[in-house]
Copies of this chain bind each other. A is one copy, B any other.
Amino acid sequence: MKKPAPEPEAQTGVVHVSDKTLRAFLGYQMKRTFNVIQSDLSQTLKPFDLRMLTYTALVLIVDNPGLRQSQLAEAMDIERPNLVVIIDELERRDLIIRDRLPNDRRAYALLPTLAGRRLCEKAVAAAEEHEKRLLRDLNPDAQAMAMKVMQLIENNRRRDS
């Protein structure tokens, strides 16, 4: 983070953020970085006709066959109503099925189809490439550290509201 010349009406296109402000501004860098990951991943998943949300849902169902919608929504950190259309889409494309639980007929067990598993495998391989590209400058220690930092932040989530 170099400091550009602080003339007020600079036409350079370089925007200055003071150290004080930046320190108080985790969300600023976080959002920029997430935008990069999100748009890169979207491009990567386009050939499979998957978005980040449908991809995430599919991966989690393949990894956790029998998952209920409410559990999946919690894992994806989205509200239950918003998951419905995602599951609808995956089911319409015969990538997963909703299987009524015999012991609780309110809920569905979400199961991947064979086609779902196959598409998932290909999409995960592509996503691995995408991540390798984005993380190419980072040694495994730095990657692990970044993961740990994110998990710690998540654990400090507000309990209220």
Residues of A bordering B, CB below 8 Å: 1, 8-10, 13, 15-18, 20-21, 23-41, 43, 52, 56, 59-60, 63-67, 71-72, 74-75, 77, 101, 109, 124-125, 127-128, 131, 133-138, 142-143, 145-158, 161
Q: Are A27 and B23 in contact (CB under 8 A)?
A: no
Q: Given A13-B71, A33-B30, A34-B30 in contact, is the A149-B156 Cβ separation under 8 Å?
A: no
Cα A64 to Cα B34 with chains together (Å): 24
A23 contact set on B, CB distance < 8 A: 128, 131
A8 contact set on B, CB distance < 8 A: 64-66
Give how many copies assemble into the complex. Answer: 2
- A21 shortest CB reach to chain B, Å: 5
Cα A100 to Cα B125 with chains together (Å): 51
From B26, B67, B124, B138, A149 is in contact (CB under 8 Å) with: B138
Q: Are A27 and B32 in contact (CB under 8 A)?
A: no
Q: Given A71-B15, A154-B36 in contact, is the A127-B29 Cβ separation under 8 Å?
A: no
Q: Are B15 and A72 in contact (CB under 8 A)?
A: yes
A28 contact set on B, CB distance < 8 A: 56
Looking at chain A's contact residues, the main secondary structure is helix
A34 contact set on B, CB distance < 8 A: 27, 30-31, 34
Q: Are A26 and B59 in contact (CB under 8 A)?
A: no
- A104 shortest CB reach to chain B, Å: 9
Cα A159 to Cα B143 with chains together (Å): 23
- A18 shortest CB reach to chain B, Å: 5
